[in-house]
């Protein structure tokens, strides 16, 4: 295997900054001198904002080589642009578009054209994309701090170990590490994941059935493309995970909301609403957001339904690693004798979400279909972090980190539950605190969670409202409260702040 050493290149790159060459065309066959053509092109790009103030421009030598002309006209043009204040030279760093330019440009020379030109005529886009919510404007989506959901305890992550592994795999990559990889993902990582899933989650799997993907999100997307046609009826949990719904909306499916109770998805209602649904999207270990764990009888009912109606079950096992006060619950996939379950897992909750790495366990007869779809999307998962993750798992760091997180999240969760009880008594009803990194506190009747959440955000309290997780009319209003990223010692203060907000909203009184 060939290995590359490029430390010397990195060192050189640091010393000699280099700039992109702008799109400049010169023509030797026209009367206009070359230096003038260069000058005019640069000036036009600066005025038209194609080059922005402070941006570096290539050296005269590099530009001359790239354009295949002598250096003299380039030197002449640069000298003039410098003299007129379009360029500025910085000793030892190179030449830059002048950073104080915008104020100096005559207003008549500005062309405030939207990027991509003037928008005229009809501009059709797919109807399905129009139905998707655009942007993520709600303040709680961007907020970072107490009660935000999906944020693990970053401060506990073993960065030293991780960065050593990154360096190990960056320094001397093999040719195969740089090439396109297997569309299922790296075999070593699939193998490590199988060991973990068989042992810790009771999943039945072989590495040939595992596909490494860009988080659960991509797994949902690929599963929808393989299993579902437009207009296909699909069961979704009500309330449920909004990003599953986005995927299904984009696929043009007909979503059938099936209510969730303390035993998880109500299969009997699903059958009554649409027995012939093609698939059911469920999170049986820790339903999102209400947190129920699907009972054994519901699991068997769901598997029976899938077998008898020829349907699929997509199991989102996003945070089942964390259970408090009860034994771990094996996956639904592990109970399935009919190969009807597509199992999805993620490293977002156990490592960090920007890793964008998850996995799916696919029924063996469908692997080819999943591979065909994956190859149409992004071919394969980037190699570097697969290699890092493989060593992280094989060398025991993953198991150690998980053990630590379980303890710490257990403390955080207990602190949150105790403080909520102390401050609010039975005025806020708690749901789903037995597992995961969030719980739900539902509000008494008559309050609007989104309105309260907007006002709380002004005080930097990030409360995810419950009502948008319903496809139909919300049965409950409340907040999804994350506790993964807040230290146990800080929780009493944050609950006190929450009380301040809820007293102001007249949800509770000071005496509660």
Ligand X SMILES: Cc1ncc(COP(=O)(O)O)c(C=O)c1O
The least CB distance from residue 351 to ligand X, in Å, is 10
Should residue 150 be labelled a site residue for ligand X when binding is judged by CB under 6 A?
yes
Q: Given candidates 318, 343, 462, 470, which one binds ligand X under the rule CB under 6 A?
A: 318
Should residue 348 be labelled a site residue for ligand X when binding is judged by CB under 6 A?
yes
Question: Is the Cβ of residue 353 or residue 492 nearer to ligand X in the bound state?
Answer: 353
The least CB distance from residue 162 to ligand X, in Å, is 18
Q: Which two tokens stand for residue 54?
A: 């402070």
Taking CB under 6 A as the criterion, which residues in 206-245 touch ligand X? 215-217, 241
The least CB distance from residue 240 to ligand X, in Å, is 8
Judge contact between 324 and 352, C-beta under 8 A.
no
Question: Is the Cβ of residue 214 or residue 430 nearer to ligand X in the bound state?
Answer: 214
Should residue 353 be labelled a site residue for ligand X when binding is judged by CB under 6 A?
yes
The least CB distance from residue 424 to ligand X, in Å, is 25
Should residue 386 be labelled a site residue for ligand X when binding is judged by CB under 6 A?
no
Q: Given candidates 346, 419, 442, 486, which one binds ligand X under the rule CB under 6 A?
A: 346
Structural Rg of the chain based on CA atoms = 28
Question: Is the Cβ of residue 95 or residue 348 nearer to ligand X in the bound state?
Answer: 348
- Which residue of this chain has its Cβ atom nearest to ligand X in the complex? 215
Residue in this structure with the two tokens 């020829």, named with its chain if needed: 310
Say how far apart CA 313 and CA 341 lie, in whole Å: 5
Q: Given candidates 146, 283, 306, 491, which one binds ligand X under the rule CB under 6 A?
A: 283
Neighbours of 499 (CB within 10 A): 20
Say how far apart CA 282 and CA 264 lie, in whole Å: 9
Neighbours of 20 (CB within 10 A): 10
Question: Is the Cβ of residue 60 or residue 285 nearer to ligand X in the bound state?
Answer: 285
Question: Is the Cβ of residue 151 or residue 494 nearer to ligand X in the bound state?
Answer: 151
Should residue 358 be labelled a site residue for ligand X when binding is judged by CB under 6 A?
yes
Torsion angle, alpha carbons of 4, 9, 11, 15, to 10: -170
Kindly state the DSSP code that residue 259 receives in the 8-state scheme: E
Question: Is the Cβ of residue 217 or residue 390 nearer to ligand X in the bound state?
Answer: 217
The least CB distance from residue 346 to ligand X, in Å, is 3
- Closest of 270, 274, 298, 269 to residue 285, by C-alpha: 298
Element (H, E) at 454: helix 449-458
Question: Is the Cβ of residue 38 or residue 344 nearer to ligand X in the bound state?
Answer: 344
By CB under 6 A, the count of residues binding ligand X is: 13
The least CB distance from residue 290 to ligand X, in Å, is 11
Say how far apart CA 228 and CA 246 lie, in whole Å: 14
Q: Which residues of 125-145 are buried (b: 16+ CB within 10 A; e: fewer)?
A: eeeeeeeeeeeeebbbeebee
Judge contact between 419 and 433, C-beta under 8 A.
no
Taking the CA atoms of 125, 129, 135 and 137 in sequence, report the sign of the dihedral they define.
positive
Say how far apart CA 483 and CA 419 lie, in whole Å: 12
Piece of the chain touching ligand X by CB under 6 A; list 81-89, 273-281, 345-353, 468-476: 345-353
The least CB distance from residue 106 to ligand X, in Å, is 50
- Backbone φ and ψ for 180, nearest 5 degrees, come out as -60, 140
Should residue 442 be labelled a site residue for ligand X when binding is judged by CB under 6 A?
no
Neighbours of 341 (CB within 10 A): 27
Neighbours of 263 (CB within 10 A): 17
Should residue 484 be labelled a site residue for ligand X when binding is judged by CB under 6 A?
no
Q: Given candidates 316, 321, 336, 449, which one binds ligand X under the rule CB under 6 A?
A: 316
Should residue 288 be labelled a site residue for ligand X when binding is judged by CB under 6 A?
yes
Should residue 419 be labelled a site residue for ligand X when binding is judged by CB under 6 A?
no
Question: Is the Cβ of residue 350 or residue 399 nearer to ligand X in the bound state?
Answer: 350
The least CB distance from residue 352 to ligand X, in Å, is 10
Judge contact between 40 and 34, C-beta under 8 A.
no
The least CB distance from residue 236 to ligand X, in Å, is 11
Using DSSP's 3-state secondary structure scheme, residue 237 falls into: strand
Should residue 479 be labelled a site residue for ligand X when binding is judged by CB under 6 A?
no
User: How many residues in the chain?
Assistant: 512
Question: Is the Cβ of residue 351 or residue 387 nearer to ligand X in the bound state?
Answer: 351
Should residue 281 be labelled a site residue for ligand X when binding is judged by CB under 6 A?
no
Piece of the chain touching ligand X by CB under 6 A; list 57-65, 229-237, 264-272, 346-354: 346-354
Beta bridge partners of 235: 256, 280
The least CB distance from residue 384 to ligand X, in Å, is 18
Q: Where are the beta strands (DSSP E) in 222-311?
A: 233-238, 254-261, 264-265, 279-282
Q: Which residues bind ligand X (CB under 6 A)?
A: 150, 215-217, 241, 283, 288, 316, 318, 346, 348, 353, 358
């Amino acid at each position: 295997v060939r290995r590359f050493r490029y430390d010397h290149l990195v060192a050189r790159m640091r010393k000699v900054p280099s700039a992109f060459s702008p799109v400049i065309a010169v023509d030797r066959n026209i009367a206009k001198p070359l230096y003038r053509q260069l000058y005019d092109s640069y000036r036009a790009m600066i005025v038209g904002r194609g080059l922005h103030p402070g941006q570096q421009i290539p050296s005269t030598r590099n530009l001359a080589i790239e354009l295949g002309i002598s250096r003299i006209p380039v030197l002449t043009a640069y000298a003039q642009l410098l003299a007129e204040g379009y360029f500025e030279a910085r000793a030892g760093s190179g030449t830059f578009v002048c950073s104080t330019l915008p104020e100096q440009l005559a207003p008549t020379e500005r062309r405030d054209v939207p990027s991509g030109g003037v928008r005229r005529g009809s501009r059709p886009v797919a109807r399905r994309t129009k139905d998707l919510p655009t942007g993520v404007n709600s303040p709680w989506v961007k907020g970072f701090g107490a009660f935000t959901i999906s944020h693990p305890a970053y401060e506990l992550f073993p960065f030293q170990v991780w960065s050593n592994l990154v360096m190990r795999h960056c320094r001397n990559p093999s040719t195969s590490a740089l090439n396109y990889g297997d569309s299922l993902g790296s075999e070593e990582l699939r193998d490590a994941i199988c060991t973990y899933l068989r042992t810790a989650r009771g999943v039945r799997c072989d590495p040939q059935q595992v596909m490494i993907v860009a988080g659960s999100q991509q797994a949902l997307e690929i599963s929808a493309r393989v299993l579902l046609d437009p207009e296909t009826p699909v069961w979704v949990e009500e309330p449920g995970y909004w990003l599953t719904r986005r995927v299904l909306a984009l696929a043009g499916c007909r979503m059938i909301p099936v209510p969730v109770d303390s035993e998880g998805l109500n299969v009997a209602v699903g059958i009554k609403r649409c027995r012939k649904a093609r698939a059911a999207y469920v999170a049986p270990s820790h339903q999102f957001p209400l947190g129920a764990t699907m009972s054994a009888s519901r699991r068997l009912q769901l598997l029976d339904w899938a077998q008898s109606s020829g349907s699929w079950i997509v199991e989102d096992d996003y945070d089942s690693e964390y259970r408090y006060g009860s034994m771990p619950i094996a996956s639904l996939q592990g109970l399935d004798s009919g190969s009807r379950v597509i199992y999805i897992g993620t490293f977002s909750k156990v490592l960090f979400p920007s890793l964008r790495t998850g996995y799916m366990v696919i029924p063996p007869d469908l692997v080819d279909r999943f591979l065909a779809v994956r190859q149409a999307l992004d071919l394969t998962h980037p190699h570097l972090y697969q290699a890092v993750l493989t060593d992280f798992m094989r060398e025991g760091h993953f198991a150690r980190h998980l053990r630590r997180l379980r303890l710490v999240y257990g403390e955080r969760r207990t602190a949150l539950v105790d403080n909520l009880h102390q401050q609010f008594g039975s005025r806020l009803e708690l749901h789903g605190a037995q597992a995961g990194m969030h719980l739900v506190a539902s509000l008494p009747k008559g309050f609007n969670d989104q309105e309260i959440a907007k006002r709380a955000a002004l005080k930097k309290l990030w409360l995810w409202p419950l009502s948008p997780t319903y496809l139909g009319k919300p049965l409950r209003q409340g907040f999804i409260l994350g506790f993964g990223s807040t230290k146990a010692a800080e929780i009493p203060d944050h609950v006190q702040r929450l009380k301040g907000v809820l007293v102001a909203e007249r949800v509770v009184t000071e005496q509660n």
